[in-house]
Amino acid sequence: VSGSSAHLNHVTASGNVSGSATSTGSFGYIKIPDDGKIALGDSEDLRIYHNGSHSIIRDRGTGNLILRTNVFQVKNSDDTETMLQANADGNVTLYHNNNSKFSTTSGGVSVTGNVITSGNVSGSSTSTGSFAYVNVTSKVSGSSVSTGSFGRLEVGGNTNIDGDITIGGNIT
C-alpha cells in the first residue's frame, strides 16, 4: 500500500509485516494468534506475546523496562480486584482479596492483619498499642521500647532483658 493516504477496511497478511521508523497508521483492532509476537528494537529487545497459556512481556534490552504513569495498578483479569497499586509521590499498597494489607507511608509502612516472619528481626523501634498474640521463635535484637498490652507472649530460645519487667497476674 502506498500513496499519501491509504484507507483500508480490512487487511489480511501472512508472513512478516514490517515498517520504517516513520510508518504511521491507525488501527482499531489488531489480532495476533497464539505464539505470534510483537517485537520492538533492532535486536527484538522487547517482545509482547501470548503463547497459548501465558501472556508475556519480555525485555532483554540493555536498559530498564520503565512504565511511566502517575498511578500504576495490577488488577485481576475480570477487573474486579486490585492486587497492587503504586501512586506517584505517594504510597505503594499490596492487596489480598481486594483488601489493603501492606502499604508504604511517609513514615514507614502500615500492615493490616497478622505478620508472620522467619529468621532474625532486628532494629530500633517503639511499639505502642495492644498486641493480642506475640510469638517469637527466632532472634529478636535491637533497641526497643514496648508499651501497651500483650495478651500472650511466647519466646523460644534465649531471652536477654536489659531493664525492668512488670507483670500483672500469675506467672505459670
| Residue-wise pLDDT tens digits, 98-127 | 999 999 999 888 889 887 777 666 555 556
The pLDDT of residue 67 is 92
Nearest 5 degrees, angle CA 74-CA 51-CA 58?
55
The pLDDT of residue 165 is 72
Which whole number is the average pLDDT over 118-147? 59
Nearby residues of 157 by Cβ (< 8 Å), 6 or more positions away:
137, 138, 139
At 158, the pLDDT band (50, 70, 90 cuts) reads low
The pLDDT of residue 3 is 47
pTM of the model: 0.59
* SS3 assignment, position 40: strand
Q: Do 139 and 157 touch, CB atoms closer than 8 A?
A: yes
Q: How many helices (H) and strands (E) does the chain have?
A: 0, 14
Which whole number is the average pLDDT over 49-73? 92
The pLDDT of residue 4 is 47
Q: How many residues does the chain have?
A: 172
Average pLDDT, the chain: 78
The pLDDT of residue 137 is 57
Amino acid present at 142: G
